[in-house]
Amino acid sequence: MAFVERSMFREYDIRGLVNDRELNPKSAELIGKAYGTFLDRRGIADAVVGFDSRFGSEEIKDGVVRGLLSAGRDVIEIGMCLTPMMYWAQYKLETRGGAMITGSHNPKGWNGLKLACGFSYTLIGEELGELLAMIDSERFSHGNGTRRRVDIREDYANDLVGRVALARPLKVVVDAGNGTAGAIASSGRIGT
């Protein structure tokens, strides 16, 4: 029987400690299967998937991707990114599915998932309960989804910079506090 820790399913997202009992690649795969089934039932064929820089995020992402693929959903991986970048990528790539693996504001040792169904809409409450019920029943869609990698960073940066008109040049210092924004800003792509 499939098992995921029920307490991870909160009102607005899925959050848990990264360990063998809560959030790990195996539980992430079950969540991915349920989410893929959820999307399938709504006629959504694909999903953008991104992850933050937290410990365990990439491995959790890999589990979610395996689950989505096994449910017949096509996956568009956008790599390490900020949560707004994942939502932006949904619009850019014209897909209503989106999964962001992020610990957000939670302390070290925690991680989680924000799952989208539609543009600018994240699953909450009863919808997350529906995923948990699918996991409990092990009634998942089946298929062989495809995966591809798309680098959105430059397009995202160009879109942001293109929306701003400065009266004079600015000197900007970024202190991202060791967060994902630091990895993005130091790549030299933002604001160049």
Catalytic residue ranges: 104
Closest CA to 10 of 122, 99, 121, 173: 122
| Tokens representing residue 32 in the block | 């991915």
Length of the chain: 192
Buried b or exposed e, range 31-50, using 16+ CB within 10 angstroms: bbbbbbbbbbeeebebbbbb
Return the amino acid letter for 115. Answer: L
> Which residues are 103's β-sheet partners?
none
